[in-house]
């Protein structure tokens, strides 16, 4: 599997994916790591590890389209089979998504379709749900809405804060993202309606 990673910040999901590949959990090459933020710890780490790390700073482009064109240019050269969004804080245009239909993955820190958008852990905490979790899904034209590949549940405890809940969800995110990529790298799948079905 040729894998590209897009991130904007901390990069713990990227690190978990990289570690799993390094440990031989699944067979993949990270062919590009792209950050729209020069100061993202995740892109510094990618560089230290010796991966192809690209800062494509959206603030240096006049338009959203021109920034995205540069991201697409780097991806076209890297030829990824799949693109993993790992805390990438930019919306992708419909044409970007169409170019990589069912090949772009995202991770979201709630059990979708509950609590899409920003601060999902805080939203879940404030709502008072007793279970939350995380979702790895294909990216479609709608926010946090594409077909679901893997979910993992996390109990909300009475003594939680939004921060302690987020920390426990993050542990499961790392497992879920690797699980999704293991499946995609080893099994065929089909999509029926919204359902992602892995074949034996």
Asked if 179 interacts with ligand GRF (CB under 6 A), we say: no
Query: What is the rounded CA–CA span in Å between residue 66 and residue 171?
Result: 35
In the complex with ligand GRF, the residue whose CB is nearer, 170 or 178, is 170
- By CB under 6 A, what part of segment 8-37 binds ligand GRF? 9-13
Tell me the closest approach of the beta carbon of residue 49 to ligand GRF, in angstroms: 15
Q: Kindly tell me which residue out of 87, 104, 151, 154 binds ligand GRF, with binding defined by CB under 6 A.
A: 87
Tell me the closest approach of the beta carbon of residue 200 to ligand GRF, in angstroms: 30
67 is catalytic: no
CA 141 to chain centroid: 15
- By CB under 6 A, what part of segment 106-145 binds ligand GRF? 107-109
Set 58, 67, 108, 174: catalytic member: 108
Query: What is the rounded CA–CA span in Å between residue 169 and residue 165?
Result: 6
Instruction: Compute φ and ψ for 29, nearest 5 degrees.
Output: -115, 130
Written as one string, the DSSP assignment of 105-166 is EEEESS-TTSS-SS-HHHHHHHHT-SEEEEEEEE--SSTT-S-EEEEEEEEPPTT--HHHHH
**Size of site (CB under 6 A) for ligand GRF:** 14
**Catalytic residue positions, numbered:** 108
Q: Note the residues at the interface with ligand GRF (CB under 6 A).
A: 7, 9-13, 42, 86-87, 107-109, 170, 173
């Amino acid at each position: 599997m040729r894998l590209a990673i897009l991130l904007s910040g901390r990069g713990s999901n990227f690190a978990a994916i990289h570690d799993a590949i390094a440990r031989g959990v699944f067979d993949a090459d990270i062919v590009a790591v792209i950050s729209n933020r020069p100061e993202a710890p995740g892109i510094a780490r990618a560089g230290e590890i010796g991966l192809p790390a690209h800062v494509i700073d959206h603030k240096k482009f006049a338009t959203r389209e021109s920034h995205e064109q540069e991201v697409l240019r780097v991806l076209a050269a890297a030829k990824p089979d799949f693109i993993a969004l790992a805390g990438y804080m930019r919306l992708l245009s419909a044409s970007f998504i169409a170019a990589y239909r069912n090949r772009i993955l995202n991770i979201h820190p709630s059990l979708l379709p509950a609590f899409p958008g920003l601060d999902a852990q805080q939203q879940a905490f404030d709502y008072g749900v007793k279970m939350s979790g995380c979702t790895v899904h294909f990216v479609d034209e709608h926010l946090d809405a594409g077909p679901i590949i893997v979910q993992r549940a996390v109990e909300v405890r009475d003594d939680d804060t939004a921060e302690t809940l987020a920390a426990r969800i993050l542990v499961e995110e790392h497992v879920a993202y690797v699980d999704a990529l293991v499946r995609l790298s080893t099994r065929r799948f089909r999509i029926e309606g919204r359902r992602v079905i892995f074949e034996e």
